Copies of this chain bind each other. A is one copy, B any other.
Amino acid sequence: MQPLIEYEHSQGLVREVFDDIRATRQTNEINNFWKAIANHPPTLQRTWATLKDVMGSPGELDPLVRELIYIAVSVTNGCDYCIASHQAAAISKGMTQGMFGELLSVVAAANMTNRLANGYQVPVDDKFKQPTVIAK
């Protein structure tokens, strides 16, 4: 475990990113994740820029849906920290108990069927092989 970098002890690039996290999230609290990766400032800067953009920029998927997708990945990978922190984020964006239950039921089913497809070595149907034209 690396020591956590507290806001009070931060400086330079780390302080700048911490200030942007505070401003963006409108809270003085900074989660342990950011305090930990602040041990390597370029990782802090790059990761925050990526998450701020990927989770929060305007787009076609609303912020709650993005949180659900994030949780689906974290549950599949078994990342306890990420499950706990993004479950909280999803709740703050409107996730209800029913949504959470449905989310996990899809995650569970997909993990199950992924392995059935592997185990039966199912060949991809021809119709799924062509380049996909998706509406813009």
> Taking beta carbons and an 8 Å cutoff, which residues of A are in contact with B?
1-4, 29, 31-33, 36-37, 39-40, 42-43, 46-47, 50-51, 53-55, 57, 59-61, 65-66, 68-85, 87-88, 91, 95-125, 127-136
Interface of A is mostly: helix
Residue from B50, B54, B70, B122 in contact with A32 in the complex, judged by beta carbons closer than 8 Å: B122
Residue from B36, B69, B109 in contact with A107 in the complex, judged by beta carbons closer than 8 Å: B69
Residue ID in chain B nearest A130 by CB atoms: B1
Q: What are some 25 contacts across the A-B interface (CB < 8 A)?
A: A2-B134, A31-B125, A33-B113, A40-B100, A40-B101, A40-B102, A42-B101, A43-B101, A47-B113, A50-B109, A54-B102, A55-B106, A69-B107, A73-B111, A74-B114, A78-B78, A82-B117, A83-B121, A85-B124, A95-B134, A96-B134, A104-B116, A108-B119, A111-B112, A111-B115
Q: Which B residues are in CB contact (< 8 Å) with A33?
A: 113, 116-117, 120, 122
